[in-house]
Amino acid sequence: MHAMTPTEVFLLAMLIIFSVPYLVWRLGRTDYWAPLVVVQIFGGILLGPGVLGALFPDYYATIFTPATIGSLNGVAWWAVMMFVWVAGIELDLGAAWRHRRETAVTAGLALAVPLATGSIAAALMLRYPGWAGVSGARWQVVLGIGMACAVTALPILVLFLEKLEVLREPIGQRILRYASLDDIAIWGVLALILLDWERVGRQAGFLIGFAVATLLIRRLMARIPERDRWYVSLIWLAGCGFAADWAGLHFMVGAFLSGAVLDAKWFDQVRMDDFRRFVLLAVMPVFFLSTGLKTQWAVGGIAVFAAAALLLLASVGGKLAGVHAAGRILK
């Protein structure tokens, strides 16, 4: 019997990743209540070690080998970097400054309230054993869970705004502005949680170096033709992602910032829309599926589901309360 090469195994995994969720989405006509991205994430969960991997361990061991998972992770990393880079470019910092009071109040409350409710939920959970790792300080666990309740999934948000056909409308741009600024702030919270004094020097060096490099890249981008801006911007994206990860932050921090400091006017809007759709079509399914594939079902009993319900309430309730409070203040 022919033993499959690593290339064949990888391509078989790609075949499954692209075909199974699409067929379920299209043949099941789930678009109204479950867009393709949702089907892809749940497809990853079903295809992962906790469901089909448990029912058919030989299938999982054959297809999703460590080498294949490593290759898929590489594709997923680059996919989400390109996607959040586009989201960063879509963020109009000029509009955010012109409407700074509205932006600060709405984005601030939309972040602070679910962060607070999530942290309260975390404090309640920590009254029972088993919720914190052996190396995690109590404040890190509380703040980390609060952050998880407050963060906005930018890729999912952009997909929904585009599906509702409001991404380019004023309301869509406002929502994207609030969420983007919240993401910048939440990365700051994450940096605080992950902060250790051994990496402070590298993180300070990244911030200083990024500020200097931003001035240089902006001057360069303003002087070169658009066809060169696309290639140069991808080099800039990879460099920022590497530098941020090296500094102990996260490659997505660098990816988002690399787009946020570039002006949308430097790129043709139609080409940018086409580029985003290409990323969504060709590589983002790998990211969404890989997210589901990482899901572990080794839960600790009914308490885990109770905690999930508590965190869902803290996240959704906190976000709605924060936005409602902002509306009352700005009314």
Q: Which residues constitute the domain of residue 79?
A: 1-90+284-295
Question: Are both 76 and 128 inside the same structural domain?
Answer: no
Whether 58 and 98 share a structural domain? no
Residue 301: pLDDT above 70? no
> CA 9, 42, 120, 114: dihedral to nearest 10 degrees?
110
15 and 150 assigned to the same domain:
no
Residue 317 lies in a domain: no
**Please, are residues 136 and 175 in contact by the beta-carbon 8 Å criterion?**
no
- Is residue 276 domain-shared with residue 288, that is, in the same domain? no
Q: Do 253 and 173 share a structural domain? A: yes
80 and 95 within one domain: no
- Indicate if the pLDDT at residue 136 is higher than 90: no
Predicted pLDDT of residue 274 = 93
- Find the length of the chain: 331
On the CB side of 82, CA atoms within 13 Å amount to: 23
Average pLDDT over residues 199-209: 85
Q: What is the mean pLDDT of residues 278-301?
A: 81
pLDDT score for 300: 60
Q: Give the model's pLDDT for residue 40.
A: 87
Q: Give 299's pLDDT tier (boundaries 50, 70, 90).
A: low
Question: Does 162 fall in a domain?
Answer: yes
pLDDT score for 125: 93
Contacts of 45 (CB under 8 A, 6+ apart): 51, 292, 293, 295
Distance of alpha carbon 102 from alpha carbon 100, whole angstroms: 6
Residue located via tokens 């990743």: 17
Mean pLDDT, the chain, rounded, equals 87
pLDDT for 298 beyond 70: no
C-alpha of 65 from chain center: 25
Instruction: Provide the number of structural domains found in the chain.
Output: 2
Question: Whose CA is closest to 44, among 12, 77, 17?
Answer: 17
Residues 240, 147 share a domain: yes
Are both 86 and 222 inside the same structural domain? no
| pLDDT at res. 55 | 85
Q: Is residue 28 part of a domain?
A: yes
Residues 136 and 279 in one domain: yes
What pLDDT, in 10s, does the model give residues 12-54?
999 999 999 999 999 988 877 778 888 888 888 888 887 788 8
Q: What is the pTM of this model?
A: 0.85
pLDDT tens profile 138-157: 888 999 999 999 988 877 88
Tell whether 314 is covered by a domain. no
Specify whether 139 is located in the same domain as 276. yes
Please say whether the beta carbons of 78 and 255 come within 8 A.
Answer: no
Q: Is 195 within a domain?
A: yes
Higher pLDDT, 315 or 95: 315
Q: What's residue 293's pLDDT? A: 81
Sequence-distant (6+) residues with CB within 8 A of 76 are: 283, 286, 287, 290, 291
Do 230 and 288 have their domain in common?
Answer: no
Q: What is the pLDDT of residue 220?
A: 97
Whether 190 is in a domain gets the answer yes
| Closest C-alpha to 185, from 142, 146, 141 | 146
The answer to whether position 322 is within a domain reads no
Residue 166 lies in a domain: yes
Please say if the pLDDT value at position 187 is more than 90.
no
Q: How many CA atoms lie within 13 A of 271 on its CB side?
A: 9
Q: Do 22 and 70 fall into the same domain?
A: yes
pLDDT of residue 81: 94
For residues 204-220, b (16+ Cβ closer than 10 Å) or e, as one string?
eebeeebeebbeebeee
